[in-house]
Amino acid sequence: MSRRAYFESEESMAYQSGEDIMHTLTSIAGRYIGANPPHPPVYRVSRSGPVRKCDDHRYSFPLGVLFPDMGKGQQVYAWAKLWSDSDQEFTFHVTCYGPLRLYHNGIGVFGSAPDEEYPAMPLLKLKCGLVKGWNHFVLEFSLGERGLGGQFGTGSRKNKPLHFIVPSLEREGQEGWLYTEPLDAPLQEIPSGPLGEKATGVSWLPREEKPAAVAPFGQLARMYGLCSGMSAYAWAKINGSHCGREPVVFSGEAFSPVEFSVNGKLVFRQEQAGTFRFELQLSAVSHNLTANCMCGEQDWGFQLDPIAYKLLTPAQEIKGYSGKWLYLGPFQRGQEINLAACQTMRQTTRSGTGEEVYWRTELPGGEVRPFLENEWFGRWNYPLGVTLYGLLQLGKAGQRSDIRDYVLNHIEFATSRFSYSLWDRARYGAAGLNNQLSHIDSLDDCGSFGATMLLADRERKLEGVTQTAAHIADYILHKQDRLEDGTLYRKVGVSRTMDNTMWCDDLYMSIPFLCRYAEWSGDDKLLDEAARQVLLYKKYLYIPERQIMSHVFDVERGAPTRTPWGRGNGWVLFSLSELLTVLSQEHPSFTDILQFYRELCAGYLELQGRNGLWHQVLTDPQSYEETSCTSMFIYSYARGARLGWFMNPEPYIQAVRLGWKGLTRHAIDKQGNVYGVCRGSSYSFSNQYYKHELGWNLNDTHGIGIVLLAGLETLSMHEWQASTSTHAAEMIGTPGKMGNGSV
């Protein structure tokens, strides 16, 4: 890869704002936050039917079970749509139980071969050119010699856990797929855009029945059946525009005993079925209206008169549902529940039958689910752990409560829904949010973001942190795979080629969390474990003649790759600086870890490039200048100089100055865009993979946060130098304080 500049020098942050570090940092933060506004989750109608997600977020179509009598020559079709923000090439994964054809926007893009039509075959990777907007997908299944059905969906459950949307006009906004019964003839036309279901010429499952067409009449009887001794809640909102000077009147018919409450306060009770009417004097704002219905002998539920119904707005906007009421239950009559907490839409609650339940609609099988449809805000993954760490520290150092609160709200978006996401995954096969936190199977899934979560919890007590932190600690300490000597490693990787490997990245995915959880929980033994892991990783990955690290140790080969990837080395030094900050000098491993830190710092110092930046392959100056490793080295050097970890700090102080100047001149433009951040990696025994195949992304979250942290540590180093110089000058001017005038 050529060493072409990322942008013209006149477009650089340094050209625009000079040496103003805080201006640079707030520009980067402002661009990031502006591009990722704090949208809430999207709520959709979803059904827990036979077509559901697997753990890897692909949808499973068990058609052999659904249609055991399907014959040769028949077809089953499944139809859904997917939104894309841009024209892009995307990889899907498919497993064929039998013959399968895939259509994208009406055009056939895949047809299985006989040797691919077997459930035990490895999944197939299909590249598809998505268009901006809605993309319609149709799967055509036939009965083969070995089976029927298949699995289809996202090619990356970690980063792109996509969910498909029901495509017909009648069910616009619902999550999931429509599918047909076995058809004797192929569809005359493959659906390729918005259509009513009748216009396709066939009937689609699951059937969409009209609620009023199903007996008995009361909506709660239809949803829950007749449950003697049970109750359930209905929730809507009163539109504030109808309130104010005149009382609002609610009237209708109750099919069983009912109580109405406004904002949690009981306002009307009726002990038997029959018509009802009550008036309320309310202020001109939105109000929660809840009805607690008790099951009668023959029916239960209620219905408002049309005029009263018009006073309401939906309790929560639910895609795929035009009604205004949401329902929760059933409960034992008199059972106490925290209804206000349930109305935050963040948690389930235990029903009267002992099951956890969540809000639903009155549509048959129409349950409500939250989905994370933001690109970054609210998401939980390891690069965002560092991004939010940088933003949080900037918000504090710059006294920017808006930045601080953005971070806290992002983290609480995830932690407050942690318990719900575990339930959602168990019920639907894969969670609609918290996809990594609810399904931890690697250090990537938990440690980095978890470490920032614990810092954030110091700023403001965040809902769900205690349970989430304990879950992460249990995983790292008791569930993550280890070698016989206790070293953390990846027995099972994201792909087969990553199985049985040890990555230097995983020091950052574990060490900062262990350090902060030790302080948070008061258990110093976690620091012992953190120190032990650092020295074990040194045993496997250190390259002593260069004083740098191999990226990966291949356990099956029993050998390190000896590939000096920049960010991998950055993770190591970053982690050491986090550990040394909290490790007591009296700790038995402190001296060894400090010496390891100094050796690495010396090795990296020899490899700093002429522009002040380090390279993607540290030992190859022809590889591109990489921003995230540069920032980690700057951060760790500046902190080490300030905290006295170097015998001679001056060369490292100069490296920090040169490195930060290089970032603002060559990697950060005047709009606050961050260039040259290597994308997420696989690994190789060859440097050529890192140099030629592993390119960089603009504004990649692997780099934004650490650039912010590097700038903040550089500022702290400058302040430390200034205060040290001032103190030295004062000492020189005070008789008897400094005999030889040296600092």
Instruction: Tell me: do 318 and 182 sit in the same domain.
Output: no
Residue 408 lies in a domain: no
List of residues 6+ apart from 648 with CB closer than 8 A: none
Written as one letter, the residue type at 696 is W
Region 358-366: mean pLDDT is 95
Answer yes or no: is pLDDT of 734 > 80. Answer: no
Most distant CA atoms of the chain, gap in Å: 104
Instruction: Tell me: do 95 and 227 sit in the same domain.
Output: no
DSSP H or E stretch at residue 666:
helix 650-666
Instruction: Tell me: do 254 and 178 sit in the same domain.
Output: no
677-687 pLDDT, tens per residue? 999 899 999 99
- Looking at residue 743, what is its pLDDT? 22
442-493 pLDDT, tens per residue? 999 999 999 999 999 999 999 999 999 999 999 999 999 999 999 999 998 7
- Looking at residue 107, what is its pLDDT? 96
Question: Residue 278, class by beta-carbon neighbours within 10 Å (0-12 exposed, 13-18 middle, 19+ buried)?
Answer: middle
What own/partner pairs with CB < 8 Å and gap ≥ 24 does 163-166 have?
163/53, 163/57, 163/371, 163/432, 164/59, 164/80, 164/81, 164/82, 164/137, 165/44, 165/80, 165/81, 165/82, 165/83, 166/80, 166/81, 166/320
Q: Which of 200, 233, 264 is the last residue of a domain?
A: 200
- By the 8 A CB rule, do 518 and 524 touch? yes
DSSP-derived secondary structure letter, 8? -
Token digits for 8?
Answer: 């013209």
Q: Which of 177, 200, 223 is the last residue of a domain?
A: 200
Quote the CA–CA distance of 348 and 641 in Å, as a whole number.
50
- Looking at residue 728, what is its pLDDT? 62
Residue 625 lies in a domain: yes
Q: Which of 348, 371, 394 is the last residue of a domain?
A: 371
Residue 437 lies in a domain: no
Split into its structural domains, the chain has a count of: 3
- By the 8 A CB rule, do 326 and 235 touch? yes
Answer yes or no: is pLDDT of 211 > 70. Answer: no
- Looking at residue 740, what is its pLDDT? 30
Q: Name the residue range of residue 187's domain.
A: 43-200
544-586 pLDDT, tens per residue? 999 999 999 999 999 999 999 999 999 999 999 999 999 999 9
Cis? peptide before 206, omega within 30° of 0: yes
Rg, the chain, Cα only: 30
Burial track 630-663 (b if 16+ CB lie within 10 A, e otherwise):
bbbbbbbbbbbbbeebbeebeebbebbbbbbbbb
Residue by residue, DSSP assigns 495-517 as SGGGSSEEEGGGGTTTHHHHHHH
Residue 721 lies in a domain: yes
Region 409-416: mean pLDDT is 98
Quote the CA–CA distance of 613 and 633 in Å, as a whole number.
10
Report the CATH number that the domain containing residue 570 is assigned in CATH: 1.50.10.10
Region 593-598: mean pLDDT is 98
Query: For the chain, what is the mean pLDDT?
Result: 93
Q: Lowest mean pLDDT: which of 91-100, 397-406, 529-538, 724-733?
A: 724-733
- By the 8 A CB rule, do 330 and 54 touch? no
Instruction: Tell me: do 334 and 362 sit in the same domain.
Output: yes
Helices and strands, number each (H, E), in the chain: 19, 30
- By the 8 A CB rule, do 695 and 682 touch? no
Quote the CA–CA distance of 391 and 376 in Å, as a whole number.
14
